[in-house]
Structure 1
Amino acid sequence: MVSFFEHFFEMQKWFHQLAFSWIPFSAGDVLYIILGLFLLYYIIRCFQKKKRKQYLLKLMIIINILYFIYQLNWGMLYFQTPIIQKLSTQEKPTVDNAKKLAIQYLKKCKSTRKLVKEDGNGIFVVNDLKGIQTEILSQQHHIPQSISNKKTHLINSFKTSLFKDIMSYSGILGYYNPFTAEAQYNSTLPSTFIPFTSAHESAHQLGFAREQEANFIGYLIGINSRNPELRYSTEYFTLKSLLKFIVGEDPAFVKYIIRNYSPEMKRDRLYEKVFVARHQGAFEDFFGFTNNLFLKSNQQEGSITYSYFIDLLLNYEK
């Protein structure tokens, strides 16, 4: 059955991308707004005494239909064979190996950071977003066949989310819309996030449902890219992920690596911290809690984990 849904996804993703990619705004977000208003109408009617049972029944039918469509288009992909089983080694990651790799990626980040543009404050800025998106689609062809045999269609269906301001306060960087096959991203994010987030969401477009596997596919897309903006964003994400994995065991090493960031990287890190601090609050806590429940209900470890991505990264690098 999982194989059937994988093949079905290959057919419908091409149709959905072709149908919605030409629309200049997020059609999926408009659909969510319409559905939200529609459901709100039925919820309000459920509180009225007259025909309460009738509207409650209709509401349950609508929710079940939507859930069925979601599972048909996307939900069953969480049961695909994990990528870790496709790698030649499947060893548990060690902090020592992560440290060695962190030193390598620090050097890579320092080197690539010198190749990208800055704003007047010396902060990294994306210079050509369309070029990054084109490069992501091109690099999908270079994912090793042993890891992915999913079809790529070179259809640009990256969209700025209509909810970008809300996303900034929720901690959500981007999301994939399974009803329209659009890759949504928050355009207000610091530029260090945007290229890799786009690569991550494009991995969902390919059919990788698990979040940490989408991170790994995004890593494969960006790490050997000819586009320095995409490559720097990917290298920087990889370095941060390694440090978050290491910090529980050796915080002194993490501090040492951060002290050795280049001046350019330190400016980027400070800008990220200011952005996050400016948008923290109860709203982010709520979305973090609900997102964690969603991930755990879909065969994943939850949102506060980097171990599976590190598993994939270290075994692949080995």
Structure 2
Amino acid sequence: MVSAFESFFEIQKNIHQFSFSWIPFSFGDVLYVFLGISLLYFIIKSFKRKTRNTSFLKILILVNILYFTYQIFWGMLYFQKPIVSKLPKTEITVEKRKKLALKYLEKCKQTRMLVKENQQGVFTVLNIRNIQTEILSQQTKLPSFISNKKALNINAFKPSLFKNVMSFTGILGYYNPFTAEAQYNSELPSSYLPFTLAHESSHQLGFAREQEANFIGYLIGVNSSNIELKYSTEYFTLKSLLNSIVYEDEEFVKDMLKNYSAGMKRDRANEKQFVFEHQGLLDDFFGFTNNLFLKSNQQEGSITYSYFIDLLVRYEK
């Protein structure tokens, strides 16, 4: 049954990306605004006695159509065969994670010296279009034993129209299953941005689970010839490893942070400043609702890195 939905996804993603990728703005965001206005209109009408029954019926019809379409286009992909079943089994020990963390710290230090900086000495992306082109190229080079999904080489990356709201919610990007567009927050610090694009492109390929999209994004970026994408990927991997270790050995993580290069420390401070400037109730609310969404779709939730780390350690083995 799931394989049928996978085959259907391959067809519809081709049609959707071909249909919407040429539009210079996010058509999916405009669609969401239109649907939101329509839903609000019917809700307001439902409070009026004369139109209460018909408006309530229209709300039910609209919600059911959207839910059914979402499941057909995307929801069933959460039940695909997990990537972890394609990788060798191994014990995920803290020692192995520490060894990988040390490896990626050295990688980050070396790659960080090659990227460009702004006037404050913070890593900055110079040409986002080049990164997008490189991601599409790397999609075709994924290991065949992990992915046999077809890369279309269609640039359907779009800056979100809701970037200001996204900055206050902790959402870096999202995939629109109705238009196959990969939305990203263009206000993100450059250290976040390239890997976020790689992550969302993994959804475009058909990897629904968040941590699996992280892993495919890792495979896309870690061997890239684009130094900006490579650094952002290595830096994400290092941070994920440290987050998985901190509750078991906090002193190790503190020592690792002390050993960041000067440029990496500036990038980390820039990320912390961005988060500090955009923290608030929206961030807490969306973090809570996103956690519930992930768990309802056969995933661990947003507070853990364990599945991505599991995939990473197995793959590195």
Shorter-chain TM-score category? Answer: over 0.9
State the distance in 2 between where 1:74 and 1:221 align. Answer: 22
Say yes or no: does 1:20 pair with 2:20. Answer: yes
TM-score, structure 2 normalization: 0.99
- Residue aligned with 2:270, SS: helix
2:10 maps to what in 1?
10
State the distance in 1 between where 2:283 and 2:49 align. Answer: 36
- Residue aligned with 1:119, SS: coil
Q: CA deviation at 1:48?
A: 1.1
The one-letter code matched in structure 1 to 2:132 is Q
Q: Deviations over 1:169-196 (max 9, x none)?
A: 0000000000000000000010000000
Task: Spell out structure 1 runs of 4+ moving beyond 2 A.
Answer: none
- Residue aligned with 2:123, SS: coil
The one-letter code matched in structure 1 to 2:110 is S
1:155 maps to what in 2?
154
2:110 maps to what in 1?
111
- Residue aligned with 1:170, SS: coil
2:41 maps to what in 1?
41
State the distance in 2 between where 1:77 and 1:92 align. Answer: 28
1:203 maps to what in 2?
202
Unaligned 5+ runs, structure 2: none
Say yes or no: does 1:287 pair with 2:258. Answer: no
1:72 maps to what in 2?
72
Aligned length: 317
State the distance in 2 between where 1:58 and 1:165 align. Answer: 31
The one-letter code matched in structure 2 to 1:80 is Q
State the distance in 1 between where 2:32 and 2:226 align. Answer: 34
State the distance in 2 between where 1:250 and 1:143 align. Answer: 34
- Residue aligned with 1:162, SS: coil
State the distance in 2 between where 1:262 and 1:142 align. Answer: 31
State the distance in 1 between where 2:96 and 2:46 align. Answer: 57
1:276 maps to what in 2?
275
The one-letter code matched in structure 1 to 2:20 is F
State the distance in 2 between where 1:128 and 1:283 align. Answer: 31
- Residue aligned with 2:140, SS: helix
**Which residues in structure 2 correspond to 1:171-190 (within 5 Å)?**
171-190=170-189
TM-score, structure 1 normalization: 0.99
State the distance in 1 between where 2:77 and 2:5 align. Answer: 7
Q: CA deviation at 1:161?
A: 0.2
Q: Deviations over 1:188-215 (max 9, x none)?
A: 0100000000000000000000000000
- Residue aligned with 1:142, SS: coil
**Which residues in structure 2 correspond to 1:62-141 (within 5 Å)?**
62-87=62-87, 89-141=88-140
1:261 maps to what in 2?
260
State the distance in 1 between where 2:222 and 2:32 align. Answer: 34
The one-letter code matched in structure 1 to 2:121 is G
State the distance in 1 between where 2:231 and 2:44 align. Answer: 49
Aligned-residue CA RMSD in angstroms?
Answer: 0.6
- Residue aligned with 2:158, SS: strand
The one-letter code matched in structure 2 to 1:36 is G
Q: Deviations over 1:13-72 (max 9, x none)?
A: 011000000000000000000000000000111111113122111110110011000001
- Residue aligned with 2:182, SS: strand
The one-letter code matched in structure 1 to 2:37 is L
Q: Deviations over 1:250-299 (max 9, x none)?
A: 00000000000000000000000011011000110000111111111111
The one-letter code matched in structure 2 to 1:267 is R
Q: Deviations over 1:58-95 (max 9, x none)?
A: 110110011000001000000000000011x1234111
